[in-house]
């Protein structure tokens, strides 16, 4: 049976890993390659690197560190942030990234998803979605890396998931903004609502604070993977212990 994935997310700014609360007030938590190697050795199933300043400031991720990460780790990793063209994606994939993830640029130019899937295959095209409840419905947000530019767009999250998977996205990372960084649990309600309409792997993001949160999101929302940052960076939860505990709770794990 396929294992559920535990995915540490490393938010990157200026070549360092940082972490903020609800996308604000980022603090430095370490060197990219050092943290990547540590998580890989600890049993992480996959890593996501997200250049949080890339979209708002129209900068691109430095492929240089993508190559350095690829040399060190022997698990899959995804690079997100600032990918606006086939060339941006190609540079990261050929530097050794296994997947690329697009968020704001896909909202601004949905055809980008089709083009990426046609050029590189759906298996390496991830669409990240920042989503928040407003007036009883979940809505997509763009430019969420910068609080001064972050804004809701007129697309319902459920519609957008259906559209991008039709356009060729091979995986969805759903970041539930109401929960992000506060460690009170994943947004099980929203993830469970998206699940039936998401024909590709669905990764939960935002809200992990305790081992029970991972169990709940796997068992109640049937997601394929769970992404978390601060609980791993701050050693609130140790990855090996988490996976052993989840396996004991009946969640299929690579231990």
Partner 1 sequence: MTVALIDTSTANIASVRYALTRLNAPYVLARTPADATGCDRLILPGVGAAGAAMKTLDASGWSDALRAERRPVLGLCLGMQLLFDWSAESGCGLLGLIPGRIERLDPGAAGPWPHMGWNALEEFRDGELLLEGLSPGERVYFVHGFYAPLGDHTVASASYGQRVTAIARRGKVAGCQFHPERSAGVGARILSNFLKGEAS
Three state DSSP letters for 12-54: EECCEEEEEECCEEEEEEEEHHHHHHHHHHHCCCCEEEEECCC
Rounded least distance, CB 254 to partner 1, Å? 4
Nearer to partner 1 by Cβ, of 3 and 158: the residue is: 3
Which residue out of 45, 88, 130, 180 is catalytically annotated? 130
Residue 97, judged by CB atoms within 10 A of its CB (0-12, 13-18, 19+), counts as buried
Catalytic site includes residue 11:
yes
Which residue out of 11, 45, 88, 187 is catalytically annotated? 11
Nearer to partner 1 by Cβ, of 8 and 170: the residue is: 170
How far is 136 from 252, CA to CA, in rounded Å?
Answer: 33
Rounded least distance, CB 233 to partner 1, Å? 21
Rounded least distance, CB 42 to partner 1, Å? 11
> Interface residues with partner 1 (CB under 8 A)?
1-5, 40, 45, 67, 70-71, 74-76, 90, 93-96, 98, 120-124, 170-171, 198-202, 224-225, 254
SS3 120: helix
| Tokens standing for residue 28 | 């430095």
DSSP string over 70-90: HHH--S-EEEESS--SHHHHH
Nearer to partner 1 by Cβ, of 76 and 185: the residue is: 76
Catalytic site includes residue 130:
yes
162 within 8 A of 190, measured Cβ to Cβ: no
Rounded least distance, CB 104 to partner 1, Å? 23
How far is 170 from 157, CA to CA, in rounded Å?
Answer: 17
DSSP label of 2: P
Nearer to partner 1 by Cβ, of 152 and 255: the residue is: 255
Rounded least distance, CB 114 to partner 1, Å? 15
Nearer to partner 1 by Cβ, of 41 and 210: the residue is: 41
Active-site residue numbers?
Answer: 11, 130
């Amino acid at each position: 049976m396929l294992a559920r994935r535990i995915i540490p997310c490393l938010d990157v700014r200026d070549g360092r890993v940082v972490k903020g609360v609800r996308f604000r007030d980022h603090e430095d938590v370490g060197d990219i390659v050092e943290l990547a190697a540590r998580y890989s050795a600890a049993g992480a199933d996959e890593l996501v690197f997200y250049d949080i300043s890339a979209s708002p400031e129209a900068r691109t991720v430095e492929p240089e560190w993508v190559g350095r990460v690829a040399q060190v780790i022997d698990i899959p990793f995804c690079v997100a942030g600032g990918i606006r063209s086939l060339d941006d994606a190609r540079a990261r994939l050929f530097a050794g990234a296994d997947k690329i993830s697009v968020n704001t640029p896909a909202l601004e130019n949905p055809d980008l998803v089709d083009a990426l899937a046609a050029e590189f295959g759906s298996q390496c095209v991830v669409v990240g979605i920042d989503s928040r409840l407003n007036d009883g419905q979940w809505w997509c947000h763009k430019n969420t890396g910068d609080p001064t530019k972050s804004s809701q767009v007129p697309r319902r999250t459920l519609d957008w998931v259906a559209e991008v998977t039709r356009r060729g996205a091979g995986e969805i990372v759903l970041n539930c903004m109401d929960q992000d960084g506060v460690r009170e649990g994943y947004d099980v309600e929203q993830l469970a609502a998206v699940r039936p309409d998401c024909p590709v792997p669905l990764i939960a993001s935002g809200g992990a604070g305790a081992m029970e949160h991972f169990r709940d999101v796997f068992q109640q929302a049937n997601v394929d993977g769970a992404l978390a940052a601060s609980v791993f960076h701050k050693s609130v939860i140790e990855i090996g212990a988490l996976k052993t505990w989840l396996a004991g709770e009946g969640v299929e794990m690579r231990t």
